[in-house]
Structure 1
Amino acid sequence: MTRKDMFWGYLAQALNIGAGLILLPVILKYLPPAEVGLWFVFITLVGLAQLLEFGFNPTISRNTSYIYAGATSLQKDGLPTSQANSSLVNLHLLASLISTARKVYGLVSLLAAVLLLIVGSIYISTLITEETENKPTLILAWISFASGYVITLYYGYINGMLHGRGDVTQSNKVVVATRGLLVVVGSYAVIEGHGLLGLGLASLLSSGIGRIIAAHYFFSKTRPEMRAIRSDPLKKVDDLTNLLWHNASKLGAVQIGSFLIQRGNILIASSALGLASAASYGMTVTILTVLMTVSSVLCQLQLPSLNAMQSKNERESLVAIYGQIQLSSWAVFTLGLFVLAVFGNAVLNFIGSDTKLLAWPLLLSFGIIYLLELNHSIAATYLTTVNKIPFVKAALISGVSITTLAILFADAYGIVGLIAAQGVVQLAYNNWKWPTEAQKHLQSSFLETIKKGANKLTGKI
């Protein structure tokens, strides 16, 4: 992992997470309140459609890693049972995976198109009153924005396969190009007075260009196996849909549980505590979630390597990289939490925001909960490298439990009750269960893993 790879990885994560934050000041300054409200509706509807993707992307990425590590067959559960003596790519298996991925993402994007372009357009039209100016323009803005998302979704499997075969930097460059264009072109369009239509067309343009770049990397001249498949397509490929769905459906369920765990309490805060308290709580949750995502960048960058090493049973390397990921993630999160606690509200005061972070005792308590969440999320991600998803029930039960306790605690204890609900439920099981399972699988003690990770991290530095 070079510094260049790390640079593109962090830049991609920053734009993935922060594109909306970068656009927000421009939107708030140049758009009327009605259009600002519609913009948030646009984002919410697209976020809802994102659930249709379920867990196919990481599943496709993981199986791609197995194929490029020499697998000659794939399993619903567990590692490939048949492995070539070398890392030669099985063209038939790769072609089958590509064909299945296209079919799956074609269906998913079709469903998203129906949801967004038909149902979404009807819903959007009900929000635009007869007195609102330029109603056709606002509908066209939505159609353009939604179409851009559908295009990105359809070609989403390419990013997953790029990531899986080890072209992580190329995958990140696609993200940077797509999100960066949206920010630059969208900001320019809004400043020039083109409003939501400008944002919609920026979304459509950035999605199209991003997909062209992704296809360029996917069929790169440096990839002879892709040239072979493209120049002489196999006439008969296997349908791997059932195999992919087996674990993708589990990851999709985990995503629902994760939404309840990390975001569901914001809705409860709005109902029980009022908008002012909910704003502080929601801002704190959003920033801590961003910090946790940034802290886990190294884990995502190393995931293809972990998948390949797992397939080849390279135990020592797995232990060292896992320890390296833990140490770097803890360090980034702890530093970020310190900066947030010391300077967060000062920065908000400087930009004139009326909404503030939670009081520092609550912020630090919440930060510790998220640090534990980060730790067991890394462990859970590692466990997926053996092509098993053992934490589906735990994620769903935890999500429902946190939501239930939050509803019970909110009236009596306010924000403290919401924080306690998440902390108590996670500490009861997930915080210790998955790190313990990861260490068992690694066949390494916690201290030994940390020591090897420190040695590898020091060597990298």
Structure 2
Amino acid sequence: MRQLLRAVIARRGLAIAAVAQALQYGSGLLLLPLVVRMLSAQEVGLWYIFIAAQGLSAVADFGFQPTIARYVSLVWSGGSSFDDPTEGNVGSHAPNLPLLANLIVTARRLYAGLATGLFLLLAAAGAFYVLPLARAGGLATTPVLMAWTIFSTATALGVYFLWIPALLLGSGRIAQNYSFLVLARGGSAALGIGALLAGGGLIGLSAAFLLAQIIARIGGAMFLKGLPLKSRTRDAERSRALLREIAPNASRLGLVGIGAFLVTRLSVFVVSSFYGLKAAGSFSISLQMLMAVTTVAQLPAQISLARIVEARMARDRTRLRQLALRGVVGFFVIAVSGSIAVIVLAPYLLVFLKSSVPPLPSATMILLAVTMVLEGNHSVHAFIITTANKVPFVIPSLVSGVVVAILATTSCWLGLGVIGVIAAQGLTQAAYNNWKWPLMVWKDLAPPRDEPLLNDSPRIKL
């Protein structure tokens, strides 16, 4: 009976995880049919600028969430030292509650500061960037400013609440973490659909996003029961010391996040600045559909995470090669077939939906699809590299992001259009990242040789 109960719980956890992953990649697509039908072309473009700005959440996190989760996991296992994981009866399953309370306070204060900084940045951008675009597109600026302020508040709240999944993951509450994500992402999509059907426009969409964050926080309060959330430490120096220990490891992922934002999100701002909201809407819709395909195509590799790590620990090069090949082949099958479907069907789908915004022209869509498939391919290989506890692409990611930003802006200044923006990203990534990380993986997984596997290199300290 106990085994049956455990099996039911495990399946329930997998089901919640599957729903959370689907909503992570598909919540925007759920809104797409109503967004393109209920909003004007200019409002569609403006909404996707909102969504692109939301990408700053990952930048604002700066890699702290997974790093804090690892620290919580260590403390939850009884650890008392981050420098020496063997100290403090690790593995006894007796949480070090005083240190955990201090860590929770540190995490909440950290994210409060990050959220405040992000809100101030977005609020300023609303005055100096969004409003002129709205005015140029013939939109009333007062409703746009209201929508932007609400959306900025919701985005900042979302950043502040990032300490919740860090604690849930670190304390082993995986199903609760996925439930929290379902509330946030699923709530945003469901409430957004209701807002659009009620004629709420941009203000309704933004309010739905804000309400979803609040609902997720209420759910998070239930999921976090048992953790010393109400404890308050007076040891300010200890909190600062914890932050100094966390920051160096987090910064590596943070720099990668900045590079990713510059590569994948900045183009929306560039296109809207030079060619207006309608062009930004067409570009963003096409990009969203193709990104959804390539993101889903990476799931076969990501699902194999535990088996890849297990094979690395066992130094089973043959098994590693099989798992990597399976993930890469699965990616290409899904990404290529899905991209072809988007290119062929998107124009008919948007006509059927009576969209106010058309997709990109076919030739431009093909170039964007090729760029996104190559981007997704090297992301899959980068993921495989990280299973060896290595992050060698910090500087290349950041440099590539800066180069893409410069070239995309220059191409627009030269009048090369949206196709120039896409070419800027594609050529920059083809120059290094597209081939470097796949080559590193397959050289490492080649038939046995004298060199060790990647996991023999120095490991990143907690």
What TM-score comes out, normalization by structure 1 length? 0.73
In structure 2, what is the equivalent of residue 56 of structure 1? 64
In structure 1, what is the equivalent of residue 346 of structure 2? 348
Residues 296 and 378 in structure 1, CA contact (< 8 A), matched pair in contact too: no
Displacement of 1:207 after TM fit? 0.9
Q: What secondary structure is seen at the aligned counterpart in 2 of 1:242?
A: helix
Q: Is residue 426 of structure 1 aligned with residue 433 of structure 2?
A: yes
Q: Distance in 2 between matches of 1:143 and 1:266?
A: 20
Give the % identical residues. 28
Amino acid at match of 1:199: L
Structure 2 stretches lacking a partner, 5+ long: 1-6, 352-357, 446-451, 458-462
Q: Distance in 2 between matches of 1:213 and 1:256?
A: 30
Q: Distance in 2 between matches of 1:393 and 1:369?
A: 19
Structure 1 stretches lacking a partner, 5+ long: 445-461
Structure 1 pair 155/49, CA: closer, same or farther in 2 (3 Å)? closer
Listed as ranges, the matches of 1:211-226 within 5 Å are 211-219=217-225, 223=226, 226=227
In structure 2, what is the equivalent of residue 374 of structure 1? 379
What TM-score comes out, normalization by structure 2 length? 0.73
Displacement of 1:249 after TM fit? 2.0
In structure 2, what is the equivalent of residue 176 of structure 1? 182
Q: Distance in 2 between matches of 1:93 and 1:4?
A: 32
In structure 1, what is the equivalent of residue 55 of structure 2? 47
Displacement of 1:69 after TM fit? 4.6
Displacement of 1:403 after TM fit? 6.4
Amino acid at match of 1:60: I
Q: Is residue 210 of structure 1 aligned with residue 209 of structure 2?
A: no
Q: What secondary structure is seen at the aligned counterpart in 2 of 1:102?
A: helix
Q: Distance in 1 between matches of 2:375 and 2:134?
A: 39
Amino acid at match of 1:7: A
Deviations 1:54-101 (A, max 9, x none): 2111221232233345533214xxx83536253422223322221111
Displacement of 1:109 after TM fit? 1.0
Q: What secondary structure is seen at the aligned counterpart in 2 of 1:429?
A: helix
Amino acid at match of 2:335: L
Q: Distance in 1 between matches of 2:263 and 2:185?
A: 27
Q: Is residue 101 of structure 1 aligned with residue 103 of structure 2?
A: no
Structure 1 pair 341/194, CA: closer, same or farther in 2 (3 Å)? closer
Q: What secondary structure is seen at the aligned counterpart in 1 of 2:453?
A: helix
Residues 378 and 434 in structure 2, CA contact (< 8 A), matched pair in contact too: no
Deviations 1:324-349 (A, max 9, x none): 87466335423312422553333224
Structure 1 pair 46/442, CA: closer, same or farther in 2 (3 Å)? closer
Structure 1 pair 182/430, CA: closer, same or farther in 2 (3 Å)? same
In structure 2, what is the equivalent of residue 316 of structure 1? 314
Structure 1 pair 9/293, CA: closer, same or farther in 2 (3 Å)? farther
Structure 1 pair 246/283, CA: closer, same or farther in 2 (3 Å)? same
Amino acid at match of 1:29: R
Amino acid at match of 1:333: F
RMSD over aligned CA atoms reads 4.6
Q: Distance in 1 between matches of 2:318 and 2:14?
A: 18
Deviations 1:357-413 (A, max 9, x none): 5589868854663454133221343244xxx644322322444566678879x97x9
In structure 2, what is the equivalent of residue 28 of structure 1? 36
In structure 2, what is the equivalent of residue 148 of structure 1? 154
Q: 2:21 aligns with which of 13, 16, 38?
A: 13
Displacement of 1:105 after TM fit? 0.2
Deviations 1:294-339 (A, max 9, x none): 3444776787x799x89xx993399899778746633542331242
Displacement of 1:18 after TM fit? 2.6
Residues 46 and 116 in structure 1, CA contact (< 8 A), matched pair in contact too: no
Q: Distance in 2 between matches of 1:421 and 1:177?
A: 38
In structure 2, what is the equivalent of residue 241 of structure 1? 243
Displacement of 1:241 after TM fit? 0.9
Q: Distance in 2 between matches of 1:359 and 1:32?
A: 23
